[in-house]
């Protein structure tokens, strides 16, 4: 008998299949007709022929292999092409692995992936027969049965998604209209589908391909829509935790985002700032972003930007300033003056006071604050605000100012004499605010005692 691993186009293989079927029919008739003589020889032979037919069918269908064993097509999910761990039946009668068909349905599809029929309902019925057959097949072939996925994993990736991403990235090297169409789709896919965000981590070339249109001569200077879509896609990718290091350490990304802080549209600016904020969740990225010079354009955006962009800029500055070396950069690049200006304008007071409190540990920051009239501004907020967090940050900053610059104690003393502002915080503020307020009162008392003694 000819070997069963011949090519599907080999006529000999088609003959072999016919011979096997005829032999199987003969053996079945022999078994049914009691010609087996009770010794089981015909049954054994029939089992072997049936196995040969199955192997031939699985090879013809292009089945995948686990080690040296080929997985029958009926045991593979039509979406993932992998051995099913939790087979379920769709209303069309087709079986799928539960997590992959759930993902298909969650994306809004209401058709069968194989037949394209509209579904009469989306109830998934466990296919217990196929599950049992898979379990037996695994035991017979010495393979560990696949474990069912108990919860929907939104990051499951299919071969179809991989192919789609590859095609879209290839289009980023095409003409401008094609680039724009692909960029728009990538923006939407990375926003809607966690699996597409995860896909970018599978290839080191994915991000350079994505940002190819933004390279010198790529046309971005004349097309803000393309830049906006690509910057927003980077933002979407940076949301994915496992992508933060990959995206942040790519030599193209951070310089591009910094340059985009000066983009033509509000969306470009705010999404660039938001991407820097998201990436700065990693300390290693904080260092990269700070060293690449992001602080100055972020402060400029905070100072002069659109209200929608200011909050993203403030969030990025706050995150970056957790790192000590970035605090120095922020102070040097004019953060204190820009922040005080916005606070006086009643813009993002809570967020900006938090940044000011973080920076106040540096003497240079205190000097900047005093030079730009911070004490009066802070005392006014402390007196009038109903927000406990704002009061806490104000008294923290004032405590540091009084520590570094004793000449400001007179202004604080006048406020205390007129309104008992510090005493009220010491009595009713948060625990941290109370400690700082009491520290200020003690310093005021010492100065007063020395003055009276003198």
Residue 241 — very low, low, confident or very high, per pLDDT cuts 50/70/90? confident
Q: Which residues pair with 126 in a beta bridge?
A: 88
Residue 64 — very low, low, confident or very high, per pLDDT cuts 50/70/90? low
Element (H, E) at 427: helix 421-428
Element (H, E) at 88: strand 87-89
**In this predicted model, what pLDDT tens digit does every residue of 3-25 receive, in sequence order?**
334 344 443 344 456 676 777 77
Give the distance from CA 61 to its chain's centroid: 37
Q: For 56-65, 331-340, 445-454, which range has the lowest pLDDT when averaged over its residues?
A: 56-65
CA separation for the pair 73, 60 (Å, rounded) = 10
What is the three-state SS of 159-194?
HHHHHHHHHHHHHCCCCHHHHHHHHHHHHHHHHHCH
Local structure of residue 97 (DSSP, 8 states): E
**Is pLDDT of 100 > 60?**
yes
Residue 45 has what pLDDT? 72
CA separation for the pair 426, 428 (Å, rounded) = 6
CA separation for the pair 385, 163 (Å, rounded) = 56
- Please report the domains of the chain, with CATH numbers, ordered by start residue: 73-151 (3.30.40.10), 159-333 (1.25.10.10)
Question: Which residue reads 């909050």 in tokens?
Answer: 311
Please give the C-alpha separations between residue 402 and each of 230, 329, 439, in angstroms, as whole numbers: 48, 24, 10
Question: Which residue reads 């691993």 in tokens?
Answer: 5
CA separation for the pair 63, 411 (Å, rounded) = 82
For residues 233 and 210, is the Cβ–Cβ distance under 8 A? yes
In sequence order, what DSSP letters do the residues of 293-326 get, joined into one string?
T-HHHHHHHHHHS-HHHHHHHHHHHHHHTTSHHH
- pTM of the entire predicted model: 0.69
CA separation for the pair 171, 181 (Å, rounded) = 9
Q: Are strands 69-70 and 65-66 parallel, antiparallel or unpaired?
A: antiparallel
């Amino acid at each position: 008998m000819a070997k069963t691993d011949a090519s599907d186009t080999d006529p000999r293989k088609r003959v072999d299949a016919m011979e096997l079927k005829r032999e199987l029919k003969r053996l079945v008739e022999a078994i049914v007709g009691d010609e087996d003589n009770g010794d089981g020889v015909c049954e054994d032979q029939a089992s072997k022929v049936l196995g040969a037919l199955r192997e031939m069918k699985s090879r013809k269908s292009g089945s995948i292999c686990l080690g040296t064993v080929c997985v029958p097509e009926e045991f593979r999910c039509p979406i993932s092409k992998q051995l099913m761990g939790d087979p379920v039946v769709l209303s069309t009668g087709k079986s799928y692995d539960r997590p992959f068909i759930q993902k298909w349905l969650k994306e809004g599809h209401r058709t069968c992936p194989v037949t394209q029929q509209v579904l009469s309902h989306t109830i998934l019925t466990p296919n217990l027969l196929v599950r049992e057959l898979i379990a037996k097949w695994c035991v017979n072939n010495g393979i560990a049965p696949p474990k069912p996925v108990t919860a929907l994993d939104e990051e499951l990736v299919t071969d179809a998604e991989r192919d789609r991403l590859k095609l879209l990235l290839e289009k980023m090297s095409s003409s401008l209209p094609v680039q724009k169409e692909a960029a728009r789709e990538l923006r939407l896919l990375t926003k809607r589908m966690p699996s597409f965000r995860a896909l970018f981590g599978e290839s080191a070339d994915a991000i350079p391909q994505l940002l190819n249109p933004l390279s010198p001569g790529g046309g971005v200077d004349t097309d803000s829509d393309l830049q906006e879509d690509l910057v927003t896609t980077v933002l979407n990718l940076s949301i994915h935790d496992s992508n933060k290091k990959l995206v942040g350490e790519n030599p193209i990304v951070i310089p591009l985002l910094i340059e985009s802080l000066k983009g033509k549209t509000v969306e470009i600016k705010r999404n660039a700032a938001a991407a820097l904020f998201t990436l700065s969740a990693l300390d290693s990225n904080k260092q990269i972003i700070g060293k690449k010079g992001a602080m100055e354009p972020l402060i400029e955006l905070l100072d002069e930007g659109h209200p929608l962009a200011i909050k993203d800029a403030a969030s990025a500055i706050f995150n970056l300033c957790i790192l000590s070396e970035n605090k120095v950069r922020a102070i040097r690049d004019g953060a204190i003056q820009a922040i005080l200006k916005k606070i006086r304008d009643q813009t993002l007071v809570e967020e900006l006071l938090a940044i000011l409190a973080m920076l106040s540990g540096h003497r240079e920051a205190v000097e900047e604050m005093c030079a730009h009239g911070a004490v009066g501004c802070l005392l006014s907020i402390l007196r009038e605000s109903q927000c406990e967090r704002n009061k806490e940050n104000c008294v923290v900053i004032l405590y540091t100012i009084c520590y570094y610059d004793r000449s400001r104690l007179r202004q604080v003393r006048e406020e205390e004499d007129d309104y008992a502002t510090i005493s009220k915080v010491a009595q009713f503020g948060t625990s941290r605010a109370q400690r700082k307020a009491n520290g200020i009162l003690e310093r005021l008392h010492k100065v007063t005692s020395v003055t009276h003694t003198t």
